[in-house]
Amino acid sequence: MNMKVSSPALHQLDQSHHFHPFTDLRDYAAHGGRIVNRAEHIYIYDTDGHRMLDGMSGLWCCNLGYSQHQIVEAIYRQLQELPFYNNFFRCSNQPAVELAKALVDITPARFNHVFFTNSGSEANDTNIRLVHRYYDLLGKPEKKLFISRKNAYHGSTIAAGSLGGMSGMHEQVRGLDYVHHINQPNWFVNGGDLSPEEFGIEVARELETKIDELGEERVAAFIAEPIQGAGGVIIPPDTYWPEIQRICDERDILLIADEVICGFGRTGDWFGSDTYQIKPQLMTFAKAITNGYIPLGGVMISDQIADVLLAHGGEFTHGLTYSGHPASCAAGLATLKTLHETNIIQTAATTIGPHLQSRLRELESHPIVGEVRGKGMFAALELVRDKHSRERLAPESTGAVYCRDRANANGLMVRQTGDAMITAPPLVSTMAEIDTLVEKLHQALDETAAHYGV
């Protein structure tokens, strides 16, 4: 370990000076956290000597784990050749051009243009800019409203946070008044006595009701993650997406698929839109496009929208200094090349993914597991005290927090969202590593059940 400062001193400095994202700042200043300073394959190492199996792929982004040296080298080579130049004012750079084409090649035929950002949040802000411009140019300036879903996550800028439906975030900032929310397709929590299929239709039709309520002439777009990630890996009932697609097709509104977590193999396909056979006009991407090694996000723009922007001309007054940064785009190209050459998405879909899903389903018989759901390489386990009534282990999700802490203490990085345990391991995990992940999760469940006397 190459440490210039001792671990206790580093913790002290971290607690004194570093405000962390989505963190209780007072609690962190008092108790601190984990300082990760090395990673290899699917393991992370901290300054206190712990090694953990990373069951979250970083933050759902290191889909190929931490040892993809060809991506690191691509970044390094690019930084030596052209460390920066912007894409404003009639300039471009080769990696940005090549990555745009590579993305066009792996997305459906209607996508022929890309706008680069640094993050998923900025990409969703870009979606709003594109959609508003599109309808303005079509002579429909009154079409400005967006419909999203409660408990969605679309990022943390003010616009992306408004598109999201996390109530805790909305409590701390005044969201945009042109974003409206409908319910999420979370059958376990909201399905009541309906079958998942019935519930899927019912909750999808809320979109139709909301369009009628707001007025179709004012509604611009509906945005959704194919599978809600941060909200709790919410797998929609099979009936949900076909009904949403029908409504979008019948109404004059755009469909935006936020592929920031689903994209680049997580669902077992290139994109979650492929998995659910949906036809969005815009697709948001970020995270795994560079395997998480360097920031990059963007929006895939379908011909329906691009043609209008191209036909009308006039400046699109939007851009970021680092839109299409050469080093980020070089990383994106190296990541896509690796995905193509290793066939890892196909492997994940046919071997590792099914293994993860079937091993996790074994935990369904555990006394505190109410539901196991998942697809491809991510999953959630709902924790309960009573399987039948779905009564929770403890108030305010403290049961799942306890379980997460036990898993972490046992060397497994997983996350807790509400009362669910979440995992999204790298696609490069081996069968044996998935077995270890499930065993460690099982152990955490046992310890949690014992703690709560279930």
Residue numbers at the binding site for ligand PMP (CB under 6 A): 119-121, 124, 153-155, 225, 229-230, 258, 260-261, 286, 297
E strands present in 277-365? 282-285, 297-302
For ligand PMP, the closer of residues 260 and 282 by Cβ is 260
As measured in angstroms, the least distance from the Cβ of 118 to ligand PMP is 8
Residues 6+ apart with CB under 8 A from 67: 40, 41
**φ and ψ at 182, to 5 degrees?**
-115, 175
As measured in angstroms, the least distance from the Cβ of 226 to ligand PMP is 9
For ligand PMP, the closer of residues 54 and 258 by Cβ is 258
As measured in angstroms, the least distance from the Cβ of 282 to ligand PMP is 13
Cα-based angle 65, 66, 71 (whole degrees, multiple of 5): 100
d(CA 161, CA 175): 7
For ligand PMP, the closer of residues 208 and 225 by Cβ is 225
As measured in angstroms, the least distance from the Cβ of 4 to ligand PMP is 29
d(CA 112, CA 435): 41
For ligand PMP, the closer of residues 181 and 366 by Cβ is 181
For ligand PMP, the closer of residues 256 and 345 by Cβ is 256
Task: Supply the DSSP symbol for 420.
Answer: E
As measured in angstroms, the least distance from the Cβ of 30 to ligand PMP is 26
d(CA 328, CA 16): 31
Residue 420: exposed, middle, or buried by beta-carbon count in 10 A (0-12, 13-18, 19+)? buried
As measured in angstroms, the least distance from the Cβ of 157 to ligand PMP is 7
**How many CB atoms lie under 10 A from the CB of residue 28?**
15
State the alpha helices, DSSP H only, in 111-192.
Answer: 120-137, 158-163, 167-172, 187-190
Cα-based angle 286, 303, 223 (whole degrees, multiple of 5): 45
**How many CB atoms lie under 10 A from the CB of residue 397?**
17
For ligand PMP, the closer of residues 122 and 208 by Cβ is 122
The length of the chain is 454
Which residue type occupies 397? S
For ligand PMP, the closer of residues 120 and 399 by Cβ is 120
For ligand PMP, the closer of residues 240 and 402 by Cβ is 240
Residue with tokens 């008092």: 30
As measured in angstroms, the least distance from the Cβ of 164 to ligand PMP is 8
As measured in angstroms, the least distance from the Cβ of 219 to ligand PMP is 21
As measured in angstroms, the least distance from the Cβ of 260 to ligand PMP is 3
d(CA 258, CA 27): 32
CA dihedral 182, 288, 382, 232 (to 10 degrees): -20
Which residue type occupies 201? I
Q: From residue 426, how far is each of 322, 330, 378, 383, 439 by CA, in Å?
A: 27, 21, 9, 24, 17
> Which residue sits closest to ligand PMP, CB atoms considered?
120
For ligand PMP, the closer of residues 151 and 448 by Cβ is 151
